[in-house]
Each structure stands twice: as C-alpha cells, then as structure tokens.
C-alpha cells in the first residue's frame, strides 16, 4: 500500500520568520500523524528554520529545485548535497513554473532526477499539460513525453524511489481543479505507462500526487480516487488551517 503524501509547495512565499511560525504551528497540529507523510517545501532561505521548527516530528523537509552537479561555479544555484545536509528528504523537480519561466526542459529535468537519486533525495517529478494541449486532446501525449523524458536512463529500481506529481497547468493557481475522475484518468494513464516502461510492481510502488488548486473543500474527493496517492498543494499550503484540513482529509 502506498502511504499518501501531502506536500506543501510554498513557492516564493514566506520569509524566514514567517516560515518558522507556520512550520511550528503545523508541528503542533500534525506531529503525531502516521498514516500520511507531510512534506513542507519552503524557499531555500527558509529551509534551515523550517527544519528547526519541525525537529522531533514526523514532518519532512523538501526543496523546490536543485542543480544536478555536486558543486561548481554555478552562480545562484543550490546543490543536492547542500539540500541533503540541511535536512531535506524530498526535492520538487520540473515544476511547470520552472519549465515555463526558467526554461527547464525534459533533459534538465532528467539530469536533476538522476542526480537527486544519486545523492539520496526523493524527487517529486512534476508533469502536466497546458490548457491548449488539453483542448487539443494532447494530454496523454504531453504527459507521456514528460514522464519518458524525466525517467530516461533510469532502471526500475531507481524509478520506484521517485514520486510523481500530476499538475495540469490550467489548474495551478486558477481555482479550476480537475474533477476527481479527470485527474484519476491521467493518474491511471501514468501508472500504466510506468508499468510498461518498468514493471507493474515498480509502477504500483510509485506515489502519484495530484496538484492544482487543491483546497480543503475538494481534497477528500480527489484523495479518495484509486490512483491519487496524495497532493502537491500550493496556495492552500500557506495557511495552517487549510493545510491541516487537507492533510486530515488524507487520513
């Protein structure tokens, strides 16, 4: 059985102090949960303070991006080892905002995924179609291209260490959510694809999260679907009440 994962992607929100406060509140409210993995992904500048705030709880730390090299002359970048030693277990890779605003490609996503796994970080690999692609009936084609690109050169043993987040771009920050059945249909497609690329056993081990306007009032219906194994939450993860409700709807 896959333990559900609820990850908060805080994007470029929360100063160090604000992040510490939010994480401390979440620790008080959520530290005893065992049936769901809670992951907080603050900006780089707040990783250390969030780590301190969640110390002694089950809450896990994640970053929002990383470079693939161990170190080097890459001004403005952060390495996998830096994330690991600050206490991260997860790292979001290939978010649609990275793909569209910072020109990430399947190839750079693949480099980051392989590097994260090599350093012992769990990549949360984001895939998903834009509105015009969905309207042109290209959802499966786009998602397949993202998955095949991200997983290039990986063996099944490594692939099963990853997490996937299906985030239709048209649902991110728009208040438009995929219906539970629309989302589950794509999750099933992804699982079948992984099964054909690796094996059914491998595909069955991979958590596939849904992301895109997940809120307390729609999370339960989404999480009840057969192949939705958690959520990657943006806006609603910035508020303790709403994030707590989403986490509890996964228990």
Catalytic annotation on 95? yes
The active-site residue out of 95, 133, 146, 187 is 95
Residue 156 CB, shortest distance to ligand 13P, in Å, is: 26
Candidates 22-30, 154-162, 226-234, 242-250; binding stretch for ligand 13P (CB under 6 A): 226-234
The active-site residue out of 133, 167, 187, 244 is 167
Phi/psi of residue 156, each to 5°? Answer: -60, -35
Among 54, 93, 194, 232, binds ligand 13P (CB under 6 A): 232
Site for ligand 13P in 179-218 (CB under 6 A): 211-214
Q: Give yes or no for residue 233 binding ligand 13P (CB under 6 A).
A: yes
Q: Give yes or no for residue 127 binding ligand 13P (CB under 6 A).
A: no
Nearer to ligand 13P, 47 or 202 (CB): 47
Q: Give yes or no for residue 104 binding ligand 13P (CB under 6 A).
A: no
Query: Helices 47-54 and 16-30, interaxial angle, to 10°?
Result: 30
Q: Give yes or no for residue 117 binding ligand 13P (CB under 6 A).
A: no
């Amino acid at each position: 059985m896959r333990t559900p994962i609820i990850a908060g992607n805080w994007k470029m929100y929360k100063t160090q102090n604000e992040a510490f406060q939010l994480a401390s509140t979440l620790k008080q409210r959520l530290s005893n949960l065992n049936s769901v993995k809670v992951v907080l992904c603050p900006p780089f500048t707040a990783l250390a303070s969030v780590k301190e705030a969640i110390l002694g709880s089950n809450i896990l730390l994640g970053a929002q991006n990383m470079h693939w090299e161990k170190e080097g002359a890459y001004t403005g970048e952060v390495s996998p080892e830096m994330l690991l030693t600050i206490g991260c277990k997860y790292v979001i890779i290939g978010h649609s905002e990275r793909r569209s605003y910072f020109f990430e490609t399947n190839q750079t996503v693949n480099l980051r995924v392989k590097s994260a796994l090599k350093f012992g970080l769990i990549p949360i690999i984001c895939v998903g179609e834009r509105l015009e692609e969905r309207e042109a009936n290209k959802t499966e084609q786009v998602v397949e291209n993202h998955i095949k690109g991200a997983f290039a050169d990986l063996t099944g043993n490594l692939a099963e260490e990853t997490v996937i987040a299906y985030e239709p771009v048209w649902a991110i920050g728009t208040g438009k959510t995929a219906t539970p059945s629309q989302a589950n249909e794509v999750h099933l497609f992804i699982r079948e694809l992984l099964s054909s690329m690796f094996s059914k056993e491998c595909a069955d081990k991979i958590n596939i999260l849904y992301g895109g306007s997940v809120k307390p009032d729609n999370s339960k219906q989404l999480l009840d679907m057969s192949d939705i194994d958690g959520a990657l939450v943006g806006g609603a993860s910035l508020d303790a009440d709403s994030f707590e409700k989403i986490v509890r709807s996964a228990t």
